[in-house]
Amino acid sequence: MIHKNKTYIIAEVGINHNGSLDNCLRLIDVSAAAGCDCVKFQYFRAAGLYPRSAGKLDWQDKNKKYSYDIYSAVESFEMPPSWIRPVVDYCRKKRIDFLASVFDRQGVDFLISRGMRAIKIASTALTNIPLLEHCARFKLPLIVSTGAATLSEIEEAVACINKFHDKIWLLQCTLKYPAAPQQCNLGAIKTLKSAFPGCGAGFSDHTALVSRAAVQAVYLGAGIIEKHITLDKQMPGPDHFFALEPEELKQMVREIRTAEKKKNRGAPIDRVLYGSTEKKVFEYERYLRDFCYMAIYAKNDILKDSRIKCGDLAILRPGKKPRGIDPKYMEFFKEFRVFSPVNIKKGSPVTWRAIFHE
């Protein structure tokens, strides 16, 4: 899949299929025609991403205002299991790799059974250590975005995967949609390469720029470029307005291929895009980190004085709810007999305060 001698370009469809299998196939056509190496989707069930009580989201892009129930909206973005076989088969026909971001074990198992040969971990799942461990056991290449992550969190993720293999790619990413050019912090690509020399490095581009950020990332040594795509920026949905339309995608691919030839000849550094070399949670990433980074919630009602078992728990995004403890602490409930001193309602965060109530 991933090449050593040229940049691996991923066209990120994500949720921009708008609930249409035909749109998926058209976007595969667009990606293949542009010369991309891979087309990527997101495979999730709403029940595996958010509590039903995640709340309501109000936001706006340049032209439109949105107000919706988080859980219901995520349901509308789901990619049905019945689509996967025709999508994978069509990718093979078009000679382009199929990839999907995964968010739970069931999704991983299903996609690999359908022929997926690498695994994408979204930034918001980077701290989901149980999921990373499950993925790593397949010993397939793991492409991990690092938006709003700290170096210590990335180190923990890499160490988890390294217990099983070393085929890891870390993508510099800004957890903001769209990210401004000065928020790219492409200097962090060099930080990732230095801190994790056994891993490949790349860039997941969330800017509205066509190719400027992607080209600069190639100059800085990115071996993978990921970019959102759409059939039309005017389509309804939160991820269309900053994505690339078909002709823009072709332009980006052309300019990346040109940049590959220049990168070892003293290519100029764009200081705006280079930004900071720090790998930390920037203030402009804080909102989405709090909203989307996964935590532990009650899957069922947990009664006072009852034992909390792993089957009672789910790893979910908070949405507007208070945050539970980090996913890595699922092991705590396996290793120890933990009893809840209070009632914990289904969908509520499981916190240290709830477990060790004073």
pLDDT in tens, 10-56: 999 999 999 999 999 999 999 999 999 999 999 999 999 999 999 99
Give percent of the chain with pLDDT exceeding 70. Answer: 97
Q: Is the per-residue pLDDT at 357 higher than 70?
A: no
Burial class from Cβ neighbours inside 10 Å (0-12, 13-18, 19+) for residue 147 reads: buried
Which residues, in sequence order, are CB contacts of 86 under 8 Å at separation 6+? 21, 25
- The closest of 160, 186, 164, 162 to 173, measured between CA atoms, is 186
Quickly tell me which residue has 């995004």 as its tokens. 317
At 354, is the pLDDT very low, low, confident or very high (cuts 50, 70, 90)?
confident
Q: Is the per-residue pLDDT at 350 higher than 70?
A: yes
At residue 240, the pLDDT reads 95
Check residues 64 and 69 and name the one with the higher pLDDT. Answer: 69
Q: Is the per-residue pLDDT at 57 higher than 90?
A: no
**What is the average pLDDT value for the chain, to the nearest integer?**
95
CA–centroid distance for 67 within its chain:
23
8 A C-beta contact, residue 195 and residue 222: no
At residue 63, the pLDDT reads 66
Q: Is the per-residue pLDDT at 62 higher than 70?
A: no
At residue 59, the pLDDT reads 65
At 355, is the pLDDT very low, low, confident or very high (cuts 50, 70, 90)?
confident
Q: What is the DSSP string of 240-252?
A: STTSBPHHHHHHH
At residue 61, the pLDDT reads 62
316 phi/psi in degrees, rounded to 5: -140, 165
3-state secondary structure 289-304: HHHHCCEEEECCCECC
8 A C-beta contact, residue 43 and residue 84: yes
8 A C-beta contact, residue 121 and residue 99: no
209 phi/psi in degrees, rounded to 5: -70, 145
Residues 66/68/71/75 CA torsion (nearest 10 deg):
-70
Inter-CA distances, 241 with 71, 227, 235, 236, 248, Å: 22, 13, 8, 9, 13
Sketch out the chain's domains with CATH numbers.
8-44+79-284 (3.20.20.70), 293-355 (3.90.1210.10)
User: Residue length, the chain?
Assistant: 358
At residue 3, the pLDDT reads 73
Each residue's pLDDT tens digit, 109-158: 999 999 999 999 999 999 999 999 999 999 999 999 999 999 999 999 99
User: In the numeric block, which tokens belong to residue 40?
Assistant: 């990527």
Q: What is the DSSP string of 156-181?
A: HHHHHHHTT---EEEEEE-SSSSPPG
At 358, is the pLDDT very low, low, confident or very high (cuts 50, 70, 90)?
very low
Inter-CA distances, 355 with 13, 26, 28, 226, 298, Å: 40, 50, 48, 41, 12
Looking at the chain, the number of H-run helices and the number of E-run strands are 13, 14
| Average pLDDT of the residues in 215-230 | 97
Q: What is the DSSP string of 74-114?
A: HHHT---HHHHHHHHHHHHHTT-EEEEEE-SHHHHHHHHHT
- Neighbouring C-beta atoms of residue 149, cutoff 10 Å: 26
At residue 135, the pLDDT reads 98
8 A C-beta contact, residue 207 and residue 180: yes
Q: Is the per-residue pLDDT at 1 higher than 80?
A: no
